[in-house]
Amino acid sequence: MNLFPPPNTPFWLRNGNAETLFAKALQGKPPVYRRELLPDSTGQTQVAYDFVDAADPDAPLVVLFHGLEGSSRSHYSVELMKAVQSRGWHGVVAHFRGCGGIANTAPVFYHSGDSAEIGFVLNTLAQRYATVYAVGVSLGGNALAKYLGEQGDAALPEAAAAVSAPVDLAAAGTRFDKGTTRLLYTRYFLDSLIPKAEAFAHFQTASPLKNCKTLGDFDDLFTAPLHGFADRHDYYRRSSCKPFLKTVAKPLLLLNAVNDPFLPPEVLPTPADVSDSVTLLQPPHGGHVGFVSKDKGRLNIEWLPRTLLDYFSRFETR
């Protein structure tokens, strides 16, 4: 049984692609962030941490790990950080290497299975804040959930949430390689990723990245060899968080809309796939990080941050 009611999705947005795309149009003005540039886990580049600070220094911190080519300006980041501010908590969007407008000078990029970077960021923040809650969205959600499964009781967050995580990367890859998902999203991501990869001094390839037609092509040519995987299939197998969900020990809200166009519904986790610490929330509608709701006659994307913060509030000790 779901602990939280689903969003009141308008009937004309109950197509996963429509809701995914429309949600961006409902984004409000970003909060005023305080940016810090801090080392990544390699110590060879800096990454951007965009903070919103609470008046109470002892308030909890919510850290957000964004999705593929996301940032603190992504619609879900903006709305979550505004909700964190309203609740009187601290918040931060921790950018992956090369995101948020900061050049990557490390010998590696970022990817869906980079749980080591997740752990490094959480350890950095845990030295400043007594209570840390973590949210991962899409790629960031997969990496966060994998970290939680790997670390078990040693995981640092008091509680966490993974939103629209591609828990089975091979299945998600099939969506991106064909059909409507490829048509609507693949070129959008490649147009952002390829210039970064082409400018990456640590990577040389005889085959031009501009020839990539799918994200699978890009992962075969760039992501996999750069990070020590044999090919994209090896990368997807070893990086998917789904096999790690049975060993999650800290509270985790795993939120996936059934109509997410990035992930076939038949691969969504069931109770048999997860530990008792994982709460599955799978509303029928929501798209990929859409979750548009109509409340009091107004369309909004406030359901997601409200649900996440209400979940974390269950574990407050202060």
Q: pLDDT at residue 100 above 90? A: yes
Residue 274: domain span: 11-168+245-313
As a whole number, mean pLDDT of residues 189-197 equals 93
Q: Stretch 72-87: mean pLDDT, rounded? A: 98
Does the annotation count 86 as an active-site position? no
Last residue of a domain, one of 239, 264, 282: 239
pTM: 0.96
pLDDT in tens, 110-131: 999 999 999 999 999 999 999 9
* 158 and 181, same domain (yes or no): no
| 154 is a domain residue | yes
pLDDT, tens digit, 9 for 90 and up, residues 198-233: 888 777 766 688 889 999 999 999 999 999 999 999
Tokens coding 8: 């009141």
* Nearest CA among 120, 7, 144 for reference residue 67: 144
Q: Given a cut of 60, is residue 318 above it in pLDDT?
A: no
Predicted confidence (pLDDT) at residue 278 exceeds the cutoff of 70: yes
* Cα 257 from chain centroid (whole Å): 14
Strands 61-65 and 293-295: unpaired
Question: Looking at the structure, do residues 55 and 15 belong to the same domain, yes or no?
Answer: yes
Q: Mind listing the pLDDT tens digit for each residue in 46-68?
A: 999 999 999 999 999 999 999 99
Mean predicted confidence (pLDDT) in 297-305:
96
d(C-alpha 40, C-alpha 288), whole Å: 28
Q: How many domains does the chain have?
A: 2
pLDDT of residue 229: 97
State whether 144 and 177 are in the same domain.
Answer: no
Closest by CA to 10, choosing from 240, 245, 286, is 286
Q: Are residues 162 and 189 part of one domain?
A: no
Q: Which of 239, 265, 297 is the last residue of a domain?
A: 239
260 is catalytic: yes
- Would you say residue 185 has pLDDT above 90? yes
> Counting beta carbons within 10 angstroms of the beta carbon of residue 247, is it exposed (0 to 12), middle (13 to 18) or buried (19 or more)?
middle
Whether the Cβ atoms of residue 129 and residue 60 lie closer than 8 Å to each other: yes
User: Are residue 163 and residue 184 in the same domain, yes or no?
Assistant: no
- The pLDDT score that the predictor gives to residue 235 is 98
Mean pLDDT value across the chain: 95
Which entry of 50, 111, 260, 277 is annotated as an active-site residue? 260
- Can 219 be counted among the known catalytic residues? no
Task: Establish if 2 belongs to a structural domain.
Answer: no
What is the percent of the chain where pLDDT is above 70? 97
The pLDDT of residue 1 is: 40
Q: Which of 183, 204, 239 is the last residue of a domain?
A: 239
Average of per-residue pLDDT across 229-250: 98
Across the range 139-167, mean pLDDT stands at 98
